[in-house]
């Protein structure tokens, strides 16, 4: 990748358009980027990163941070354009961030969305490729082979971070290397194996629980045939080998005991069954004898009762005979009663009907009444036409009333519309004013929303700054105490060590054995071995003191790391929060929130105001049209009213003659209808009375004939003999019952068994049944015991088979768990097989770190005059720490290997520079060998003396052998005389400007 040209407008400190020609600067191989503090040196690197990836490095991309220049005019858009060559293709990338601009119409501002353009130079000129942020990002990342984080570490070499990398612990190194080399897949493998181990362990535990549950069910099924307290089950742990054999042995013992009990229960059941059968036969014989004896006694008692009922039988037989003859007369009696009742009702109705007739018709016959009815019906028919005329007259009245109501309503509506139309201009102006006010409120709400979110982000950063400041203060106090504790522990350990060394002779004497050579003098005789002095310090006491000292040191180092992290986090939060206090930011946020809420509430009525204005305009048009049509409808109503008046006058003249003094034709018709109904009812009642009298006389004759034929002297005697059907049926049932009882007793007297049983002594069935019941209870108990024993045997057999199946299924699960657990422990660094306790990701990163150290050593030897060499160390950290990411420096002058944290300031700079260049080479190779023709080194040269500076510049100059150009960002004045090609950033009141300096000329 080679940079050619960078153009920025209204970006960072640059207000006016600035252009940087990297081709001109790269001709010398090394160029210097310098300028006063705050001029915008880092902003040049930010612009390169923003053009490539759409964001700037590190904390400068914090939420709420704007890329736009505060010096730029409102109408100048913020824009960055970068021309580069990558993957053999010459590309141009242009990006504009999201930004506010003045509205083209009206006042206020509007927000433009972020935009991106990608073009490629071909033989035909520049050709547009894409305007999609996502497509451009994917294309650039694929061509460069690096993410934004890798680009910032490899191309924009941040010396401060690599200096921290030299002094960092292994965990911090692992995080940085993990981001650069993307070892997330190895961490994912560790996590996957951990998940599989937990899943396999859960399966084994579930299998063990299932087997133990089956074993508990075996214990429940065995009952008291086994002693659970002696059950030799091992502890419930995954992979326990003794669980299966213990369950199999116990199940076999339980099954044998259950079968023995089953056989004993079967023998007992056979004995009880024979005793129960004998008792059951004896009870049945006694019950049969008792039945025959009671049957004989019952027969004698019922024969005596039948003899006593003889006179009653004769009386019932006579009553039943008279009732049968009376039943022959009953139909005639019923017919005569019905005829009499009908005649009586008809006579009463005739009297009532004649009472309602007028005096001339009270004695009239049926024919005369029929003639009067006919005349009245003729008069009633003549009134039909008159009723229709009267109805039409009423309808005309209603129509006139409707016309009057319509006229009044139309007049009121016309007056209301006229008043409304007079107010129209004022109404329309008020509604238009509401719409404009709501639109203005919507604009204000957008403005407040654009300021509110950055203010909230800045407030959150200020709160984090305060929290980290408090945490820093607490960590500082804790660190002071821990430093004192560590110093006291070290002093205690050194005192004990010194005391032990003073008495080491006694400790060596304790290991002497008679006849064996002394390890100090070689003599086999030990005439006067030393004895421990009072207060002697042994190895255990010294080791305990040393362990306490190491723990204190570890606690101190942990607090120092926490303090450094708190300071770094506070600095980042402070950079994002700015100089304002939390209270000021909180007040600003509250003020913006209140303003935004008020504006949003006012803007919420915009749609309703527009709808109300539209409805008012539609109503104005409708009222105007209604006012024109109202006059036409009023004229039509007047004409219709005159025609109805003429028609009603004609109809009323005809109706006066037909009403005959009645108020209405309907009243006259009701009078005639009442007279017709009265005459018709009287004639009908007269005819019914004559017909019922004839039927009554005929019924009397038929009744007399029926009584004579049935053998009765009078009608009254026949009536007394008649009985209801239910009484006759009851008398017949009594006679039938006596006859059936007589036949039954005759059959029983012929039985010989009952008479023979009566001659025997009385039976005792209760005692026999009690003995049989007792035998049956014993039989049920024995049968239950057999069933329980059989069910227990079957259940134990079934559960034993189930337990065996579960144990067999558990075997592969245990094997899988052991295999996965070994792999998971090995990759996680917790297994005993992993001697250095290295995680898989740390193992991969250790290999990368070894490559980085080798690549860095090539340049470090030149910069240090052959003195220093960087080496990777996989030694384990103290205590329980892990190993794999140690980094040491070998001093050729002393031949010693020491930690990189012991380097001086200048040594740390060129060691970190060598490490950064080596890391760039390794990451480049990791990314597929992408050529990086342009590099930037940010600060750090001020800590070097002249000789070291020359050596560093020689190393940087050697990068040209790989056709690279290196940009140095520095304040060091001496570099301006050593580096010919320069890019100067000049800070001015209206915004910074860029100047190119070469050995030949100076251009603005």
In percent, the amount of the chain with pLDDT more than 90 equals 2
Q: Does pLDDT of 236 surpass 50?
A: no
Q: Percent of the chain having pLDDT more than 70?
A: 80
Q: Cβ–Cβ contacts within 10 Å for residue 67, how many?
A: 23
Work out the pLDDT band at 879, boundaries 50, 70, 90: very low
Please, which residues have CB within 8 angstroms of residue 117's CB and are 6 or more apart in sequence? 92, 93, 94, 95, 128, 130, 131
Q: What's the mean pLDDT in 894-917?
A: 74
pLDDT at 810: 73
* Predicted confidence band of residue 83 (pLDDT cuts 50, 70, 90): very high
Q: Give the lowest-confidence range in 233-242, 281-290, 567-576, 715-724.
A: 233-242
- Which has more confidence, 935 or 962? 935
Whole-number Cα distances in Å, 609 to 198, 236, 427, 617: 64, 75, 12, 12
- Of 489, 485, 495, the C-alpha closest to 535 is 495
Q: Which residue has the higher pLDDT, 215 or 120?
A: 120
pLDDT tens column, 402-441: 777 777 777 777 777 777 777 778 888 887 887 888 778 7
- The CA-based angle 452-453-454, given to 5 degrees, is 95
> Tokens in use for 504?
């080491």
Arithmetic mean of pLDDT, 910-914: 72
Over 50: is that where the pLDDT of 246 sits? yes
How many Å separate Cα 241 from the centre of its chain?
A: 43
Q: Is 703 exposed, middle or buried (0-12, 13-18, 19+ CB in 10 A)?
A: buried
Question: Kind and range of the H or E element at 73?
Answer: none
Q: How far is CA 661 from the centre of its chain?
A: 89
Q: Apex CA 60: angle with CA 996 and CA 67, to 5°?
A: 65
Task: State the number of CA atoms in the 13 A half-sphere of 439 facing the CB.
Answer: 10
Q: Confidence band (pLDDT; 50, 70, 90) for 1000? A: very low
Residues paired with 94 in a beta bridge: 81, 117
Looking up tokens 């965990």 gives 171
Instruction: Give bridge partners of residue 3 from the DSSP assignment.
Output: 84
The CA–CA distances, whole Å, from 651 to 389, 401, 644 equal 6, 18, 11
Q: Is the dihedral of CA 311, 316, 319, 325 positive or negative?
A: negative
Cα 830-834-839 angle, rounded to 5 deg: 60
Give the mean model confidence (pLDDT) for residues 652-671.
Answer: 66
Q: What is the DSSP-derived secondary structure letter of residue 367?
A: H
The DSSP annotation for 399-415 comes to HHHHHHHHHHHHHHHHH
Rounded distance between C-alpha atoms, residue 141 and residue 936, angstroms: 19
Q: Which residues contact 495 (CB under 8 A, 6 or more apart)?
A: none
Handedness of CA 332, 337, 343, 345 (dihedral sign): negative
Using alpha carbons, select from 545, 460, 452 the residue that is nearest to residue 497.
Answer: 545
- Residue 210's nearest CA partner among 816, 812, 803, 795 is 803
pLDDT value, residue 117: 92
Instruction: Provide mean pLDDT across the span 696-704.
Output: 76
Q: Which long-range contacts (CB under 8 A, 24 or more apart) does 451-454 make?
A: 451/592, 452/589, 452/592, 452/593, 452/596, 453/64, 454/63, 454/64, 454/66
Rounded Cα distance between 125 and 971, Å, is 40
Residue with tokens 């509604």: 431
Provide the β-strand partners of residue 158: 938
Torsion of the alpha carbons at 262, 268, 269 and 272, rounded to the nearest 10:
-170
Instruction: Reply yes or no on whether the pLDDT at 490 is more than 80.
Output: yes
The pLDDT of residue 81 is: 94
Q: How confident is the model at residue 1004 (pLDDT cuts 50, 70, 90)?
A: very low
d(CA 767, CA 786): 29
Q: Strands of 835-910 (E only): list them.
A: 868-873, 886-891, 896-899
CA 759 to chain centre: 92
pLDDT of residue 929: 46
* CA–CA distance, 603 with 449 (Å, rounded to integer): 13
Spatial strand order of the sheet with 156-158 comes to: 156-158, 934-938, 965-969, 30-34, 981-986, 993-997, 1002-1003
**Residue 472 pLDDT:** 85
- pLDDT, tens digit, 9 for 90 and up, residues 387-406: 676 676 777 777 777 777 77
Which phi and psi angles does 235 have, rounded to 5°? -65, 150
- The pTM of this model reads 0.39
pLDDT, one tens digit per residue, over 306-342 is: 778 778 777 777 777 777 777 777 777 777 778 778 8
Q: Tell me what pLDDT residue 101 has.
A: 84
- Confidence (pLDDT) at 270: 83
Q: The tokens of 657 are what? A: 């003659």
Q: Tell me, what's the pLDDT at 876?
A: 59
Q: What is the pLDDT of residues 207-226, one digit of tens each?
A: 777 777 777 777 777 775 54
pLDDT (average), residues 443-460: 79
- Nearest-angstrom CA–CA distance, 125 and 484: 72
Report, as an integer, the average pLDDT of 604-620: 78
- Which CA distances in Å does 437 have to 445, 614, 758? 12, 16, 123
Q: Is the pLDDT of residue 167 over 50?
A: yes
User: At residue 546, does pLDDT exceed 60?
Assistant: yes
Residue 1003 is predicted with a pLDDT of 41
pLDDT given at position 228: 43
Largest CA distance in the chain: 180
Round to whole Å and give the CA distance between 19 and 42.
15
| pLDDT tens per residue, range 330-384 | 777 777 778 778 878 777 877 777 777 777 776 777 677 777 767 767 666 666 6
Extract the tokens encoding 491: 């002093």
* String of DSSP letters for 252-305: HHHHHHHHHHHHHHHHHHHHHHHHHHHHHHHHHHHHHHHHHHHHHHHHHHHHHH
Lowest-confidence region among 466-470, 711-715, 867-871: 711-715
Torsion angle (degrees, nearest 10) of CA 872, 876, 880, 881: 0
Q: Residue holding tokens 């300021």? A: 451
Q: Which DSSP symbol is given to 723? A: -
More confidently predicted of 502 and 940: 502
Q: What is the pLDDT at residue 572?
A: 79
**DSSP structural state of residue 832:** T
Query: What is the pLDDT, as a whole number, of residue 61?
Result: 61
The neighbour count for residue 223, using CB atoms within 10 Å, is: 14
Is the four-CA dihedral 593, 597, 599, 600 of positive or negative sign?
A: positive
Integer Cα distance of 698 and 332 in angstroms: 11
| Residue 227 pLDDT class (50, 70, 90 cuts) | very low
Mean pLDDT across 869-889: 66
Q: State the chain's mean pLDDT as an integer.
A: 76
> Looking at 575-579, 777-781, 939-943, which range is the least confident one?
939-943
Main-chain phi, psi angles of 109, to 5 degrees:
-125, 165
pLDDT of residue 699: 77
Convert the pLDDT of each residue in 676-691 to its tens digit. 777 777 777 777 777 7
């Amino acid at each position: 990748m080679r940079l050619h040209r960078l153009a920025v407008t209204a970006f960072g400190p640059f207000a006016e358009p600035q252009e940087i020609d990297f081709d001109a600067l790269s001709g010398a191989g090394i160029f210097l980027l310098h300028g006063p503090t705050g001029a915008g040196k880092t902003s040049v690197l930010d612009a390169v990163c923003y053009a490539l990836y759409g964001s700037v490095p590190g904390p400068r991309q914090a939420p709420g941070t704007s890329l736009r220049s505060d010096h730029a005019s409102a109408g100048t858009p913020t824009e960055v354009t970068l021309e580069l060559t990558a993957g053999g293709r010459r590309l141009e990338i242009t990006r504009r961030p999201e930004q506010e601009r003045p509205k083209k119409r009206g006042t206020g501002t509007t927000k433009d969305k972020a935009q991106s353009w990608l073009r490629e130079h071909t033989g035909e000129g520049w050709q547009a490729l894409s305007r999609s942020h996502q497509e451009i990002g994917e294309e650039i990342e694929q061509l460069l082979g690096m993410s934004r984080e890798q680009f910032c570490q490899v191309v924009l070499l941040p010396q401060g971070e690599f200096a921290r990398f030299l002094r960092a612990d292994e965990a911090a190194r692992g995080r940085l290397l993990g981001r650069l080399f993307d070892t997330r897949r190895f961490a994912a493998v560790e996590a996957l194996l951990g998940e599989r181990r937990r899943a396999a362990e859960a399966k084994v535990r579930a299998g063990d629980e299932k087997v133990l549950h089956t074993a508990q069910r075996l214990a429940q099924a065995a009952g008291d045939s086994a002693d659970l307290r002696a059950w030799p089950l091992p502890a419930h742990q995954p992979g326990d080998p003794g669980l299966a054999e213990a369950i199999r042995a116990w199940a076999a013992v339980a099954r044998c005991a259950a079968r023995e009990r089953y056989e004993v229960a079967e023998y007992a059941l056979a004995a009880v069954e024979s005793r129960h059968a004998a008792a059951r036969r004896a009870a049945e014989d006694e019950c049969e004898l008792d039945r025959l004896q009671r049957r004989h006694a019952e027969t004698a008692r019922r024969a005596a009762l039948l003899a006593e009922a003889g006179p009653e039988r004769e009386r019932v037989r006579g009553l039943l005979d008279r009732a049968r003859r009376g039943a022959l007369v009953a139909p005639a009696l019923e017919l005569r009663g019905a005829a009499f009742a009908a005649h009586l009702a008809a006579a009463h109705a005739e009297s009532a009907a004649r009472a309602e007739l007028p005096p001339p018709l009270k004695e009239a016959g049926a024919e005369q009444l029929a003639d009067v009815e006919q005349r009245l019906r003729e008069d009633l028919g003549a009134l039909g036409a008159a009723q229709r005329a009267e109805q039409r007259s009423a309808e005309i009245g209603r129509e006139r009333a409707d016309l009057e109501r319509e006229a009044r309503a139309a007049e009121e509506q016309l007056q209301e519309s006229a008043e409304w139309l007079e107010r129209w201009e004022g109404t329309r102006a008020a509604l238009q004013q509401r719409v404009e006010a709501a639109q203005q409120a919507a604009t204000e709400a957008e403005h407040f929303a654009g300021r509110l979110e950055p203010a909230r982000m800045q407030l959150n950063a200020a709160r984090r700054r305060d929290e980290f400041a408090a945490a820093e203060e607490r960590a500082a106090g804790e660190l002071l105490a821990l430093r004192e504790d560590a110093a006291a522990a070290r002093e205690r350990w050194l005192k004990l060590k010194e005391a032990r060394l003073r008495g080491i002779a006694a400790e060596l004497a304790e290991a002497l054995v008679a006849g064996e050579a002394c390890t100090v003098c070689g003599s086999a005789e030990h005439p006067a071995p030393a004895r421990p002095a009072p207060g002697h310090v042994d190895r255990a006491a010294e080791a305990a003191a040393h362990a306490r000292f190491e723990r204190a040191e570890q606690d101190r180092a942990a607090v120092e790391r926490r303090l450094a992290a708190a300071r770094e986090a506070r600095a980042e939060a402070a950079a994002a929060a700015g100089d304002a206090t939390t209270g000021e930011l909180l007040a600003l946020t509250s003020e913006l929130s209140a303003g935004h809420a008020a504006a949003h509430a006012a803007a919420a009525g915009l749609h309703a105001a527009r709808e109300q204005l539209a409805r008012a305009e539609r109503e104005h048009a409708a009222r105007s049209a209604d006012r024109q049509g109202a006059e036409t409808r009023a004229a039509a109503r007047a004409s219709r009213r005159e025609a109805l008046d003429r028609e009603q006058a004609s109809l009323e003249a005809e109706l006066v003659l037909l009403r005959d003094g009645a108020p209405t034709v309907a009243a006259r018709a009701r009078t005639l209808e009442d007279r017709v109904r009265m005459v018709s009812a009287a004639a009908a009642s007269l005819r019914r009375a004559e017909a019922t009298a004839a039927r009554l006389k005929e019924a009397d004759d038929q009744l007399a004939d029926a009584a004579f034929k049935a053998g009765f002297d009078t009608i009254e005697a026949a009536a007394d003999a008649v009985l209801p059907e239910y009484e006759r049926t009851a008398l017949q049932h009594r006679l039938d019952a006596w006859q059936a009882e007589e036949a039954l007793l005759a059959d029983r007297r012929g039985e010989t068994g009952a008479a023979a049983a009566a001659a025997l002594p009385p039976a005792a069935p209760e005692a026999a049944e009690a003995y049989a019941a007792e035998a049956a209870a014993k039989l049920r108990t024995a049968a239950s015991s057999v069933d329980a024993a059989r069910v227990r045997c079957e259940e134990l057999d079934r559960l034993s088979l189930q337990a065996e199946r579960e144990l067999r299924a558990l075997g592969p699960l245990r094997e899988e768990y052991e295999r996965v657990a070994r792999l998971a422990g090995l990759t996680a660094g917790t297994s005993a097989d992993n001697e250095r306790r290295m995680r898989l990701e740390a193992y991969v990163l250790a290999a990368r770190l070894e490559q980085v150290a080798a690549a860095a050593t090539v340049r470090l030897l030149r910069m240090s005059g052959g003195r220093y060499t960087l080496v990777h160390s996989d030694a384990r950290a103290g205590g329980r720490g892990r190993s794999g990411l140690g980094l040491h420096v070998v001093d050729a002058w002393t031949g010693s290997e020491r930690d990189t944290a012991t380097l001086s300031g200048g040594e740390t700079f060129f060691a970190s520079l060598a490490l950064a260049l080596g890391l760039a080479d390794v990451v480049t190779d990791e990314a597929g060998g992408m050529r990086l023709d342009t590099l930037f080194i940010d600060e750090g040269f001020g800590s070097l003396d002249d000789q070291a500076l020359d050596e560093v510049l020689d190393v940087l100059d050697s990068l040209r052998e790989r056709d690279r150009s290196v940009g140095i960002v520095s304040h060091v004045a001496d570099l301006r005389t050593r580096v010919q090609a320069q890019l100067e950033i000049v800070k001015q009141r209206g915004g910074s400007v860029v100047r190119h300096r070469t050995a030949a000329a100076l251009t603005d």
